[in-house]
Amino acid sequence: MSGYLSNTEISTDLSEGGFVPEHLATLFIKRSDFSAATTGDEITLTAAYDATLVGKKFRVSTVTHSEGKIMEVDLVALG
């Protein structure tokens, strides 16, 4: 699956138990490539414009069926 990654926010939050990564991203993809995307699905980023993001795991937080063949997926980082 490939698409356009935008609006990536990178930060960490300190809470009980240690630092929690707060990488938020929005991914625009073709609906036909990933028709079953639902909240809770796990995605590993294998290629991106920013090499530091490669290998990062994200969990789908929101799926928006915005227009036509485009699907907008909001992601939160797992680490």
Partner 1 sequence: MGSPYNNIDLRLEAACKELITEGGDFSAITITTGLSDNTREEDCIIATCDSASERIFDSGLWEADCTITLYTNADASSALATHKTRTGNMRDLFMDDGIEASLTGTDESIIVSSVHGYGTGQQIEERFFLSTITFTCILSGN
Q: How many angstroms separate the CA atoms of 79 and 33, rounded?
A: 25
Q: How many angstroms separate the CA atoms of 28 and 5, rounded?
A: 6
CB of 39: closest distance to partner 1 in angstroms? 8
Neighbours of 79 (CB within 10 A): 9
User: Does 21 interact with partner 1 (rule: CB under 8 A)?
Assistant: yes
User: Does 15 interact with partner 1 (rule: CB under 8 A)?
Assistant: yes
Kindly state the DSSP code that residue 43 receives in the 8-state scheme: E
Q: How many angstroms separate the CA atoms of 34 and 49, rounded?
A: 21
Q: Which residue has the tokens 């796990």?
A: 42
Which range in 2-10, 19-27, 44-52, 62-70 contacts partner 1 by CB under 8 A? 19-27
Between 4 and 19, whose beta carbon lies closer to partner 1?
19
Interface with partner 1 in residues 23-52 (CB under 8 A): 39-42
Binding residues vs partner 1 (CB under 8 A): 15-21, 39-42, 59, 78-79
